[in-house]
């Protein structure tokens, strides 16, 4: 296994876009507890093109999708709380 180069850690973190917030809120708790952090699925960051701070190249090509559940809901296994039922009927005149 490749031995990490501790002298270039800061440089590599900057290259891959890690912030102090990422290190403090996400990575440090993961290192302490060995569990993934719990957080929101959405993002409230400004678009890269409108940001005054330097951004990574791929941030300029990010698409915004509707929020989805992860893992996706499975109507068969979760039939008590979900329904795949739909009604098809003739429209009545108003």
Please tell me the predicted confidence (pLDDT) of residue 39.
Answer: 64
- Each of the 94 residues of the chain gets a pLDDT tens digit; together they read 777 788 888 888 888 888 888 888 888 888 999 888 776 656 667 788 888 888 888 788 766 555 555 566 666 667 776 766 777 877 777 6
For residues 45-58, one letter each, b for 16 or more C-beta atoms within 10 angstroms of the residue's C-beta and e for the rest, the string is eeebeeeeeebeee
**CB-based burial of residue 13 (10 Å sphere; 0-12 exposed, 13-18 middle, 19+ buried)?**
middle
Q: What is the DSSP string of 16-38?
A: TT--HHIIIIIIHHHHHHSSPPP
């Amino acid at each position: 296994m490749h031995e990490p180069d501790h002298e270039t850690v800061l440089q590599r973190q900057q290259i891959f876009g890690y912030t102090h917030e990422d290190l403090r809120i996400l990575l440090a708790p993961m290192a302490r507890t060995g569990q993934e952090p719990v957080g929101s699925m959405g993002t409230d960051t400004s678009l890269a093109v409108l940001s005054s701070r330097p951004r990574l190249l791929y941030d300029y090509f990010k698409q915004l999708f509707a929020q989805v559940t992860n893992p996706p809901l499975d109507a068969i296994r979760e039939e008590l709380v979900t329904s795949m039922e739909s009604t098809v009927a003739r429209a009545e005149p108003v």
